[in-house]
Amino acid sequence: MRLFTSAHILLFAYVVAALIFWGISLDRKSQTIYELEYENLKRTIDSTANSGAYYAKLEEIKNKRTTRTKQYLGEGSTFLLVIIIGAAVVYSSFRRSIRLSRQQNNFMMAVTHELKSPIAAMKLNLQTMARHQLDEDKRKLLIDRCVTESNRLNDLCNNMLLASQMEGRQYKPAHEQFSFSDLVTNSVADYAHSYPGRFEVAQTGNYNITGDKTLVQMAVNNLLENAIKYTPTDKPVYVSIDDNNNQAVLTVADNGPGIPDAEKAKIFNKFYRIGSEETRKAKGTGLGLYLTLKIVKQHRGKITVSDNEPQGAVFEICFPLS
């Protein structure tokens, strides 16, 4: 990137310097033409005997000189403008492609890690069960862990599959009425099974919405998963299901690190994750919120992110009530 920036600046500086050089040469040539024409005038017309014709011709020579100056200044400025625009377009598209390839690289690293770690955990648990005679409680614990890991794997595969299907417009969303409240409470119950005591739920009523249940489930799961993932294990996650302005509203508030204002819009971009692969502690692919936003938009809903007090993030999604 740095090499490209230096080469780009160097090339740009060279073109501008060449343009200035040609401008100066042209000006000199124009001056020479003016001087020759002036000498010629002095030789051909007597300024005292025929002063009217002399000064008219002199005026004409001066005007031609000014017109030439205006012409090459105009053409030079247009050329410079075109070069500046061209250079800016090339530079910004190069930066964009570098950023995308970096994000894709991060994504590949994250996906490889995300795929390998649940498989390794499941293998280890299954090998332990195969090799040792374990009591019922221990066996149950290991089986539960395998189920949690396989769910993680399943969520990741679903996210990746859905992202590519939605991108290729191959996914045909269903259009059915269902209870949004039941969907959220069931999802929270599933997560609470793996993370006991982490959720506090408040529900004011039963709200039905219309759309694709699987997609909405995925959007809700992504928010719950993130809240758990990015919050210290001793802090609770608050979930509330409410209605407002003919909308069913889900709020997920956590006490994690929160999301800086400058990152709030970016986290919905594909593959975007805050920080670098070295500084990130939590696992992820940067696909969750990208898909969540797509799903919410597809259901004519809205998603917002704000700060929690004293710290943390609050994600809110609303869907029109049926």
Where on the chain is the footprint of ligand ADP (CB under 6 A)? 222, 226-227, 230, 254, 256-257, 259, 267, 272-274, 284-290, 313
Closest-CA residue to 249 (of 179, 302, 190, 183): 302
Q: Rounded to an integer, what distance in angstroms lies between the CA atom of residue 43 and that of residue 20?
A: 35
Nearer to ligand ADP, 118 or 286 (CB): 286
* Residue whose Cβ sits closest to ligand ADP: 284
Nearer to ligand ADP, 145 or 229 (CB): 229
Nearer to ligand ADP, 192 or 227 (CB): 227
In whole angstroms, the minimum distance from the beta carbon of 209 to ligand ADP comes to 22
Residue 321 CB: number of other CB atoms within 10 A? 16
In whole angstroms, the minimum distance from the beta carbon of 110 to ligand ADP comes to 7
In whole angstroms, the minimum distance from the beta carbon of 211 to ligand ADP comes to 20
- Token pair belonging to 285: 């692919």
Q: In what side-by-side order are the strands of the sheet with 313-320? A: 199-203, 237-244, 247-253, 313-320, 302-307
- Burial of 74 from C-beta contacts in 10 A (0-12 / 13-18 / 19+): exposed
Nearer to ligand ADP, 226 or 251 (CB): 226
* Residue at token pair 């020759």: 36
DSSP string, 274-314: SS-TTT--S---S-HHHHHHHHHHHTT-EEEEEE-SSS-EE
Nearer to ligand ADP, 23 or 284 (CB): 284
Nearer to ligand ADP, 211 or 288 (CB): 288
In whole angstroms, the minimum distance from the beta carbon of 307 to ligand ADP comes to 10
Nearer to ligand ADP, 180 or 315 (CB): 315
Q: How far is CA 20 from the centre of its chain?
A: 40
In whole angstroms, the minimum distance from the beta carbon of 276 to ligand ADP comes to 11
In whole angstroms, the minimum distance from the beta carbon of 312 to ligand ADP comes to 7
Nearer to ligand ADP, 80 or 305 (CB): 305
In whole angstroms, the minimum distance from the beta carbon of 84 to ligand ADP comes to 36
In whole angstroms, the minimum distance from the beta carbon of 303 to ligand ADP comes to 11
Q: Provide long-range contacts, Cβ within 8 A and 24+ apart, for 289-295.
A: 289/222, 289/226, 290/163, 291/159, 291/162, 291/163, 291/166, 291/218, 291/219, 291/222, 292/218, 292/219, 292/222, 292/223, 292/268, 292/317, 293/268, 294/166, 295/212, 295/215, 295/216, 295/218, 295/219
